[in-house]
Chains A and B, each alone.
Chain A
Amino acid sequence: MTDEKAGKVLEVIMEFANIGAGSAATALSSLMDVELMNEVTSCNILPMSKVSDWLGGADKIVAGTYTYLCGDLKSGILVVLPKKSAATLLEHLTKEKVDLAALTEIQKSALKEVGNICLCWYLIAVSKMIDIDMIPAPPDATVDMLGAVLDIPLATLAQKVDTVLAVHTCFKGIDEEFEGYFLMLPEESTLKLILERMAGPRG
């Protein structure tokens, strides 16, 4: 792929992710009662070993909700919140003090459900845009080191490739201290499909 063509590919994928993340942030913002601002999506093609460095370091503690799309579109997709924002979110929803080291069943379930809602809104928006149904597996959530959270998403892709395209869109509270990001890790075949559809009459 020439540099020019690669640049174009990234541009299209970023537009795709912006739409998804915008929709997901709207859902999260009404759940949280805070106004959220989506920042620009950034894309990077990088070796597996560098993904967690690019996202802030493998030993950083985060709350991650992960699901995998297993229809025509194959991609890992995650919502990641830093420790502090995860605690803020759970305290807002459950109205109780939260200890991330020992989440109660209700809190764990809340974390998973919020991730689920965000991911679904992300998917509904992009699925409409390119007219492909997306079939996510039921998600799961954990609070742990970023590197550990990313192992399963990366292992899924690693069966075929050594470098991945990571699509990252962060969001931030406008008035309140709250932040996090959406991360999409599409398979190569999916990337092609997205590009085709985005270039077509619907795009």
Chain B
Amino acid sequence: MSEPRTVGIGQMAVCHAPEQIVCLGLGSCVAIILYDPVARIGGVVHVLLPKSPVKCDNEEKYADTGTRKLVKEMLNHGVKKERLVAKLVGGAQMFPNLNLAIANIGRENSMTVRNVLRELMIRIVAEDLGGNRGRSAYFNTSDGHVTVKTAFEPVKVL
């Protein structure tokens, strides 16, 4: 199998089976992972902030515009919207004792993504969100499985 595609903060990737897409070290960021199991096409966007300003420089950085852009990009690749399912990973609160408004941005990111997906009528089939731990997500576009690794806890498969 070829090298997995790594998707960093504010980046997006759409791949065909059997490629793998990886997001490393998600803290308050959220990885939105979409999959069409029939076309076997998967897409990931790694968002950092919840809502984009009106004039937006980088749509992939924000939960709202990033999710919409990913769906659009996947439709361009020939997926059917009715078949798309979503898995969400990240949205942790890394510094719970930090007395700054931004400390809980992970929760806002998660809520924004959920709302946008509901609007677009895309079903969330699994999620590993919140808590105080960083996560890495390994997405296999052959079967749609997402393996979630954390620093010290056992591996989960979504």
Contact = CB atoms under 8 A, between A and B. Distances in A.
B37 interface: no
Given A49-B10, A144-B27, A155-B49, A149 B97 contact: no
A193 interface: no
Contact of A145 (B25, B58, B99): B25
A143 B95 contact: no
Interface in A95-112: 100-102, 112
A149 B26 contact: no
Given A57-B24, A148-B94, A159-B49, A137 B99 contact: yes
B132 interface: yes
Interface residues of B, number: 35
Contact of A152 (B27, B133, B136, B152): B27
- Chain B residues touching A, majority SS: loop
Interface string B1-42: 000000011110000000000001111110000000000000
- Measured as residues with beta carbon below 8 angstroms from the partner, the interface class of chain A is 35 or more
A48 B99 contact: no
A27 interface: no
B107 interface: no
A33 to B, nearest CB: 28
Interface in A43-70: 47-53, 57-59, 61, 66-68, 70
A123 B102 CA distance: 22
B98 interface: yes
A192 B95 CA distance: 29
B57 A152 contact: no
A138 interface: yes
B134 A138 contact: no
B61 interface: yes
Interface of B: 8-11, 24-29, 48-49, 57-58, 61, 92, 94-100, 102-103, 105-106, 132-136, 149, 151-152
Interface of A: 47-53, 57-59, 61, 66-68, 70, 100-102, 112, 137-152, 154-156, 158-159, 162
Q: Nearest 8 CB-CB pairs, A to B?
A: A147-B25, A148-B134, A49-B8, A148-B27, A151-B27, A58-B25, A101-B152, A140-B95
